[in-house]
Every structure is written in structure tokens, then in C-alpha cells.
Structure 1
Amino acid sequence: MSNQATVLNVQRFTLHDGPGIRTEFFLKGCPLRCDWCGNPESFNRRIEVGVYHNQCISSQHCGTCLDVCPSPNMLTFSDDYLFEVKRDLCSSCMACSDDCPAEAIKQWGSFMTLDECMKTIRKDKGFYQRSGGGVTVSGGEPLLQSNFVLELFRLCKQENIHTCLESSFFANWNRIEKLLPYTDLFISDIKLLDSQRHKARTGVDNRKILNNLRALSKTEKPIILRIPIIPSINDDDENIAATADFIINELNGRVQTLQLLSFMHLGEEKYRSLGLPYKMAALAFDRDNFQLRVNQIADYFNRRGIHCTVGTKDASMENAN
């Protein structure tokens, strides 16, 4: 039994990830490194600090972070402003984040117990009952903490609360299989169908993902699929046609809806806070023409008999932070 998880964010009253009004837990840690991800703070499972040096007031002789840090030599300054944290030395004690008066240091992630999660969930049970909502666990990749998800969903089902898992499905099947009795809905995405292209853009081969989708489609569980449409990366006719063929021929009619999520430039500041490069910074495209292309793709899927919608939510949880 796993009684504790590393949680990045909890969003109440969400309407996007599953039916009705929902409470959504975003768990920290992800094995993928999608070029377009808007949430780099979800990559690592450990608790981290994010540095927003433009908010630093060290030039005004603050120095609070230096006073409270157990190893102040890990803090790097430039022009009297905190520039970065030497993360290989940082113990993630979060003393600097707790005491920073300018909120220039942000804590990414915290530990939550099952009891703490259920206390939050129970506050909203009335909304679930009236709207047909429930609880969604997302990420990052929640299957990295699958034992915790199992226990949380088990508790939810004891109280007749609808459960939904949103996952990349890049995990061993046994992590998914054990959740089947306690999960009412699965949400996943297909980023690129070609395995080599998928690995080049996400860092991992997609064969495990596709095999897991095939296996899930043989159960009675409903599936919502999503495609984050990224201009010049996965919006070409070849990839779209191959994806439609896969859904029609290999997923046994279990896909309730296919949602297209239009790319937006999001998360660049968070990448800087973590000292990471934002790979999509140079991507330039005409927003109106791109949206026309997304609508064309949706029309294509619908003509192929796949119920397809264009989503209003970016393929990230940017608005949840």
C-alpha cells in the first residue's frame, strides 16, 4: 500500500478531464520529454525549486535565501539577483521558498497522503452528485505512482465516486491492469503514430503505449483519446491518416471521443525557472491558418466515423498553476 504521493497541483471544480464537475490531482513525474510540453515542472518526481529571478529583490539587500539555505553556495547570483540553484546540490528542503518575501522562489510539488486527498475530495461530493462528476488523476504520468492511484481510487469507489485516469500509457500493462476494477474512464493521447518520429519528439518509443491501448480496448472500459496538434510536427496528412486507421482497426470501437488540442506557446517562463531550454521557442506559425488546419483534421476524423471535437484546453495544465 502507498499512502503518500508527490503531487504537483490539485485543481477543484475542473470541467475538462472527465464528465461533470471534478477534483483533479496532478501527480509529479513523467518518463516522456515532449518537445511541446507546457509543464516542465512535472518532469521530475522529486520536489523542486523554480527560480523567478525577475521577482528577486536581492539588489535591495534582501538576502533571505542566503540566510536560510543550509548550503548557500548552491545559490548563484547575477547582477545581484538570484539567477539559479545548483540542483545537484539542492536537498529540496524548501526553506528558501518558504521564506522568500518576493515569491521569487517557487516550490514545485508537495507530498499528500491518502487522507489529505480524500478530505479534499469529500468537500466536493455534492458537486459530483449533481453534475455526474468525480475525481481525475493526471500528471505528469500518474502510473509512476500507480500504487497510490490504486488506493485512492479504491477509496473513491467505496464512496460511489466516479474515477478517471489521464495517462500517457507509457508503463507496463500490470500498472494499468490493477486499476481496471476501480477506474470508470481512461483518457490518453496519441502524439505521433510512427514510432521513430514519436521517440524523436518525446524521448520514448510509442510501441508500449499503443500496445496498452490495444489491451485496454479489449476491456469494457470507455476511452477518450486526445491528439495535441503541433504545427509542422504531427499535423501532416500521413500521420493523421495513420492515426485514424489505428483507432478504427485496432481499438475495437472503445473510443468514445477523440479530442484535438491546439498547440499554444505556454510554459516558457517555467522552463527558465528550472534552468531548462524551451524547445518550441522558435516555432512560428499563423494562428488563424493553424486553427483552420485543426478544424480540417477534425472534419477528416468525423468523416472516417470517429467522433472528434476540437478542445478548448491546451495539452498541458498551464491554467491550473
Structure 2
Amino acid sequence: MSCDCQTGSVDCCSVSEEPRSSEMESKALTARVFNIQRYSLNDGEGIRTVVFFKGCPLKCPWCANPESRSIDLVNIRRESKCLHCDVCEQDVDECPSGAFEQVGYDVTVEQLLAEIAKDDVFYQTSGGGVTLSGGEVLVHGKFCIELLKQLKRLGYKTAIETSGHGNSKQLTEMANYCDEILFDFKMMDEKRAKAVIGINLEKVLNSFSALMATSCKVIPRLPLIPGFTLDLINVDKVLSFIAPYQLKEVHLLPFHQYGSSKYETLGMNYTMKEIPVPTKQEVDAIQRHVEAHGYQVVIGG
């Protein structure tokens, strides 16, 4: 920018025509979420507000939130509410029964902060806080970094859930503003993991190692999925990888069918429909095995 003043000093001309303050950058950022879940007792300590972001690069067949996979806005139809009329023409705004719903909406950092602040009393009384989940938070990396910064500035306890599949630099920057990171290990066979869920295992493991260089508490989590991860070979590969880091806690996440009905409303094929959930004996066996390696085990943390 040229200077028209008489002094021409650097200080005189140091103000940009387009200020780039943190506040302005925050206002310019938007992200797409599909749910804000209040009063959650999982996903971190105490009572949590969990923000679910839309968009995930993976294709896990057991995903309990299939509405999170695509970053696009989608409409769902709930058969139990549908009148099978021609009134709405599948338009969400005109559906007389509410059978058609839009999944996903865009928010700013400020709008999310306002929603989160509504639950202040629960954080204060329970030692809880805010957890960012998905989908995959790394799809909205810049937004989540700014949101976490603002949450810490306001004194909130913060956590994220991640598969580690994304921008590792953004992930480690998030760690600077998190009290804990819940890190999901999935399939530990590199070729099969790539073929089945589309994950780059080497990248994920490198991201975990990078987090270990930060001061943030990181908790490994192991989804227990029949036919994919519910076996001692996969569990032992996880335990072998995390062993050098001297962590104290591991969470086990047994497979469930809670999200199965969502697939039909989205018009998606659910290949896990006939897969039984793990028995108590199967989960107990994995728990004892992990505890034998010196870890405190939490089921469904």
C-alpha cells in the first residue's frame, strides 16, 4: 500500500486497509454441524455438551452416525411421521407432519459459543465441559482450532474425538487448547484398513505420535467391532504401538446397533444389520487382557 502522508514513516503506514485481527477471522469462519447433544455423560469428564460436525473421510461400515459422513446438507424421511401426501413435495419447510428433516446446518464460532454457554451451570457443578466430535473434527480444522481457543479463553474444559485421519499440524495445534483428546484406533492391518474404511494407517499413527509430544492428555479408544477389530490380534497391535508412551487409561467401545435405523432414513445400505453385538463375556475378556498390560480400562468412555 502506498503512503500519501508527508512523513512516510513505517509506523504511520502500518495499519492495513483490511485488519486481520483474531476477532475478524473468527467471525469469517463457519462450519457445518448436525447435532448439539447436551447433558452427555460420555465423551469426556463430567456433564458434556457434544458438538457433532458434519463430514468424514472414512467409510466405517459400523458407523453410528451415517448422517455425518457427507459434508453436504441432506434430507431424511421418517416413515413413522410420513402421511404419504403430495403437499410438501419432499420440501422440509412445507412438510405438514415433520417427516422430512434437513440434516446439517452452518454455524459461526460465535453462534456455537452462545449455544454452549446455555449449559454453564452443568459444567460448573459436574466438572464437565465441551467435546467436539463428528464426523471428523479435522474436516473443520481451522474452525475447531478457533473455537477451542475461544472456549479456553472463557474457561471451559475442552476435548475432541478424532480418528487422527487428517491434517496432523492442525491436530497438534488443537491439542494446545484441549484438556484431553479421545483418539480412536480402528483396524491395525494397514492394507485391510485402507480397503475397508479408507484410512491411511501410517498417517494416523504418526499423528498419534505427534500428539504425544504435546502436553495434552490423550486417551486411546478401541472400538470392538465383530469381524473387524474384536480380536486379540488387533488389540495387541494397538497395545504394542502405544506401549512406549506409558499411558494409563484405555477406553473400549463395544459395537452397538443404536444408529442402525438412521441408514434407512438416509436411503443408505447398512451392511452390519445382522451382526450381533459383542457378548459381555467377549468384552470382559478384552478388558482383562488390556488390564493385564497395566491400563485402567473404561467401557464406553
The TM-score with structure 1 as length reference comes to: 0.81
Residue type at the aligned position of 2:180? L
Provide the rounded CA distance (Å) in 2 between the counterparts of 1:52 and 1:14. Answer: 25
1:308 aligned partner = 297
The structural deviation recorded for 1:38 is 1.5
- SS of structure 2 residue aligned to 1:150: helix
Unpaired runs of 5+ residues, structure 1, are 67-74, 76-95, 314-321
| 257-266 or 26-35: bigger deviation | 257-266
Aligned residue for 2:88, secondary structure, equals: helix
Distance in 1 between the 2:262 and 2:83 partners? Answer: 19
**1:8 aligned partner:** 34
Q: 1:123 aligns with which of 110, 118, 125?
A: 118
Any runs of at least 4 consecutive aligned residues in structure 1 with deviations exceeding 3 A, and if so which? none
- Distance in 1 separating the partners of 2:98 and 2:202: 42
Alignment check: 8 A CA contact 1:262 1:291 kept: no
Q: Which residue of 1 aligns with 2:69?
A: 43
Structure 1 partner of 2:19: none
Q: Which of 220, 236, 247 is 2:215 aligned to?
A: 220
Aligned length: 275
Amino acid at match of 2:291: N
**1:225-265 CA distance string (max 9 Å, x none):** 2111012221222112221111213xx12x34211111112
Q: SS where residue 96 of structure 2 aligns?
A: coil
- In the alignment, the residues of structure 1 paired with residue 228 and residue 279 of structure 2 have an alpha-carbon distance, to the nearest angstrom, of 12
Q: After the TM superposition, which of the residue ranges 49-58 and 231-240 deviates more from structure 2?
A: 49-58
Match of 2:122, SS?
A: helix
Match of 1:275 in 2: 267
Kindly indicate whether residue 222 of structure 2 is the aligned counterpart of residue 233 of structure 1.
no
The Cα of 1:44 is off from its aligned counterpart by 0.7
Unaligned runs of 5+ in 2: 1-24
Paired with 2:190 and 2:298, the residues of 1 have a C-alpha distance of 25
TM-superposed CA distance for 1:178, in Å, is 2.3
Which residue is equivalent to 1:293? 282
Q: Is the 8 A contact 2:52 2:134 kept in 1?
A: yes
CA-atom RMSD in angstroms = 1.7
Shift of 1:164: 0.7
* C-alpha distance 26-256 of structure 1, shift in aligned 2 (>3 A): farther
Inter-partner Cα distance in structure 2 for 1:52 and 1:200 = 32
Q: What's the counterpart of residue 46 of structure 2? A: 20
SS at 2:132's partner residue?
strand
- Is the CA contact 2:260–2:270 (under 8 Å) kept in the aligned structure 1? yes
Task: Judge which range, 296-305 or 43-52, deviates more.
Answer: 43-52
Contact in 1 for aligned 2:179/2:217 (Cα 8 Å):
yes
Instruction: Tell me which residue corresponds to 1:143.
Output: 138
Which has the larger Rg?
Answer: 2
- The match for 1:69 is none
- The answer to whether the 8 Å contact 1:5/1:111 transfers is yes
Indicate the residue corresponding to 2:5 in structure 1.
Answer: none
Residues 112-161 of structure 1: CA deviation (Å, up to 9, x unaligned): 22222111122222321222111111100011111111111111111111
Query: What is the one-letter code of the residue matched to 1:261?
Result: L
Q: Deviations over 1:169-215 (max 9, x none)?
A: 10121111222321221111111211122223312222111110111
Q: Which has the higher contact order (CA 8 A, sep 6+)?
A: 1
Which amino acid letter does the alignment assign opposite residue 70 of structure 2?
N
1:111 is matched with 106
Letter in structure 1 aligned against 2:93: D
Q: What letter is aligned with 1:168?
A: S
Q: Which whole-Å CA distance do the structure 1 matches of 2:150 and 2:86 have between them? A: 46
Aligned to 1:84: none
SS in 2 for 1:219: coil
Alignment of 1:196-211 (within 5 A): 196-211=191-206
| Secondary structure at the counterpart of residue 164 of structure 2 | coil
Partner Cα separation in structure 2 for residue 200 and residue 8 of structure 1: 27
Equivalent residues in 2 for 1:252-263 (5 A)?
Answer: 252-253=245-246, 255-263=247-255
Name 2:167's counterpart in structure 1: 172
Structure-2-length-normalised TM-score:
0.86
**What displacement does 1:54 show?**
5.0
Quote the Cα distance in structure 2 between the aligned partners of 1:124 and 1:293.
37
